[in-house]
Amino acid sequence: MTSSSFKTPPADILQKLIDTSLKAGASAADCSLGFSEGVSVDVRDGKLENVERSESRGVSLRVLFGQKQAHVSGSDLSDDALTTMAERCVAMAKAVPEDKYAGLAPSDRLATDPPELDLSGDGEIALETLERDAIEAEAAALGVPGVKTVGGCGNGWSQSERWVAASNGFSAYLSGGSTGLGLAAVAERDGAMERDYDSWSVRKMADRPSPAEIGRTAGERAVARLGPRKVKTQKAAVIYDKRVSTSLMSAFLGAISGPSVARGVSFLKDRLGQPVFAEGVNLIDDPFLEKALGCRNHDGEGLPVERTHLVENGVLTRWLLNTASARQLGMEPNGFASGGFGNPPGVGTSNLHIEAGRQSPEEMMKATGKGLLVSDMFGPSINPNTGDYSVGVAGFWYEDGEVQYPVSEVTIAGDLPAMFARLVPASDLEFRGRNNAPSLLIEDMSIAGN
């Protein structure tokens, strides 16, 4: 998969869009061209059930007419289609209301020498390999006593390329690949069934556990959930397992999003430069983290990126800003624009993690005596203005530092500012996706059960 997939070089396609847009009256423009391909397989009962191959390519264009903007996308890359796309997009921009904060990033702030990133995957993985590994994972799950069936087992690979350009002079290219294997196991006891899963998405197969380990983990998790009970309504410690602890990070990112702060809909809008987590807690964004899935060498507007402490020793250091939200807040953009190039940019991080603490989850259970270990969550409800928080969960009740039994149909509640202030990271940090966190302990949580 290379630029030879296109009859016209991608850089020429993007330049034509920009030139045609400016000729039609646009004051600025940015655009992107992407190509992706991949194969996925599903197996059931030890046999291949489905194979799907996908290929897609598309182009996106955003134009600005003064402080007005519009964006379009398409897949026809012929000269006539590109000309029509640009002219229509400019006509749309002329017709929409003004956005006084819209615009491209300042040319003097652009990344001028972005570092090269090796985001390569395994390339095209043989269909026989995908099928073999998926069947092995399914068999391992079914081999766990108590597992009745596997609800689905999928395996696949994908590769992508993306070219971007803007009328302020920025242009860049990035390619990458990944592979993923996952399955859900269903366990049964006395007619009652429980379900759980395991899945891995990585750059290369060598970076994940074996298919047998993935399948066995899914099966053991499902069996462990059999026979759940309810717990009494009370206040107790809650430990978010590392599989679900990133949900708290997502809530935090929403609260430090520049657009949210600019609109005044953030429970942290007055906390910049102040402690928001306990002393010693660090939250780091690293766009250059080796083998990670969220790597990038520029943000969604072409600004440079770097390894950054969003929270340092408990203190909130910055908002996540793109050019529009920075202008609205009277600040400077800081490399956290996302998307962009053919679309109005949002804000977002690359590879985010909370640094590991000193205690293991088991040591935390011993230290707190009793509480709830959360392993599954269902639709958190968050008030963005106050941080009031509640969520349905399932997991395990522990006492005397030991897991006693599985629980379900439980709701936990609190307010996020106070929860963040007493959050304690465990030592079990594992890098498995774009956002990663160890297990997280929060004491004195409201638990609603019987």
One DSSP character per residue, 51-77 reads EEEEEEEEEEEEEEETTEEEEEEES--
Tokens of 379: 């639709």
Q: How far is CA 49 from CA 133, 156, 183, 213, 347, in A?
A: 14, 14, 14, 22, 39
Scored b (16 or more CB within 10 A) or e, 375-395 reads bbbeebebebeebebbbbbbb
Tokens matching residue 411: 């709701």
Domain annotation for the chain: domains and CATH numbers: 3-35+54-109 (3.30.2290.10), 127-224 (3.30.2290.10), 228-450 (no CATH)
What are the E-state strand segments in 45-146? 47-65, 68-74
Q: Which residues of the chain have pLDDT under 70?
A: 1-5
Q: Compute the CA torsion angle 88, 92, 93, 95 (nearest 10 deg).
A: 140
pLDDT for res 114: 85
Please calculate the CA angle 434-294-111 and round it to the nearest 5 degrees.
140
Residue with tokens 């799907």: 52
- Distance (Å, rounded) from C-alpha 345 to C-alpha 99? 14
Looking at the DSSP assignment, which residues form a beta bridge with residue 177?
159
The alpha carbon torsion through 260, 264, 266, 268 (nearest 10 deg) reads 120
Find the DSSP H helices in 225-334.
246-255, 258-263, 323-329
Phi and psi based region of residue 94 (left: phi greater than 0; alpha: psi -120 to 50; beta: remaining): alpha
- The residues facing 35 across adjacent strands are 57, 161
Name the 3-class secondary structure at 21: helix
Rounded percentage of the chain residues whose pLDDT exceeds 70: 99
d(CA 257, CA 68): 23
3-state secondary structure of 323: helix
pLDDT tens digit sequence for 316-329: 999 999 999 999 99
CA distance linking residue 368 with residue 351, whole number of Å? 31
In this predicted structure, what is the pLDDT of residue 6? 77
The whole model's pTM is what?
0.93
- Taking Cα atoms as reference points, which of 265, 295, 264 lies closest to residue 160? 295
Give the containing element (helix H, strand E) for 214. Answer: helix 211-224
CB 351 within 8 A of CB 246: no
